[in-house]
Amino acid sequence: MISGLEAVLVAFLIITAVATALLRDVVAVIVVFAAYSLGMAMFYAFLLAPDVAMTEAAIGAGVTTLLLLLTVARTVRPAQGELFERVNVPALLIVGGFVAVVGSTVVSLPGVGDPDAIVWSNPEVTQYYLEQAYADTGVENVVTAVLAGYRGFDTFGEAVVVFAAGVAVLVVFGTEVFTHE
């Protein structure tokens, strides 16, 4: 079911995720977190979601890492102590319980590519898009057809939200970008 490469990737993801939580040095955390994002991007590619994989590689591993590094560059680096944070036992119990609750739903998820999954075998929505997208829009990529065509209004809203968030950050930063010459 799970190939060797996938197993290695899952192990890599778990190790980097735990290291992100436990490492003490902030720069080390950022680097490990970037590695986690890159592993996640590869995992999305394995799950046949190349669009998500590209976004994760560019934003998660690239842009976020750079922004975090820039932010950390403004802070003070604490004196080097031990390599790992001390584990907070109550927090560990709460997080562990949460993971157990969420993880218990995984068994009832449909398998990857399961033709009987409700999302897939849905004549009104999914199958309609798959059958009609090319005739309706003339675009071969159904994802693009849904995003920019059928759900164009949502995409317009999302694009404006991205723009508004960028403007909001610039306002918070005191419009330094625009006064800087």
Partner 1 sequence: MSNSQSPDDGVDQPRQSVYVESEIIMTTVRVVAPFAFTYGLFLTFHGGGSPGGGFQGGTIIGSTILMIAFGFGIEPTRDWIENRSVALLASGGVLAFATLGLLPIVLGGRFLQHDLFKTELGIPHGTKYALEAVEILGVAPIVAGVVVGLFFAIAAGMLGETAPVSQGGEAE
Residues that bind partner 1 (CB under 8 A): 50-51, 54-55, 58-59, 62-63, 66-67, 70-80, 136-141, 143-145, 147-149, 152-153, 155-156, 159-160, 162-163, 165-166, 169-170, 173-174, 176-178, 180
Please, which residue, 80 or 108, has the CB nearer to partner 1? 80
CB of 108 to partner 1, least distance (A): 29
**Going by C-beta distance under 8 Å and a sequence separation of 6 or more, which residues neighbour residue 68?**
30, 33
Max alpha carbon distance in the chain (Å)?
63
Q: Please state, as a whole number, how many other Cβ atoms lie within 10 Å of the Cβ of residue 144.
A: 13
CB of 113 to partner 1, least distance (A): 17
Please, which residue, 62 or 117, has the CB nearer to partner 1? 62
Residue pair 19/61 in contact by the 8 Å Cβ criterion: no
CB of 80 to partner 1, least distance (A): 7
Please, which residue, 71 or 127, has the CB nearer to partner 1? 71
Q: Please state, as a whole number, how many other Cβ atoms lie within 10 Å of the Cβ of residue 53.
A: 19
CB of 25 to partner 1, least distance (A): 11
Please, which residue, 19 or 72, has the CB nearer to partner 1? 72
Q: Please state, as a whole number, how many other Cβ atoms lie within 10 Å of the Cβ of residue 155.
A: 14
Please, which residue, 71 or 88, has the CB nearer to partner 1? 71
d(CA 131, CA 145): 12
> Any idea what the Cα angle at residue 15 is, between residues 66 and 110, rounded to 5°?
100
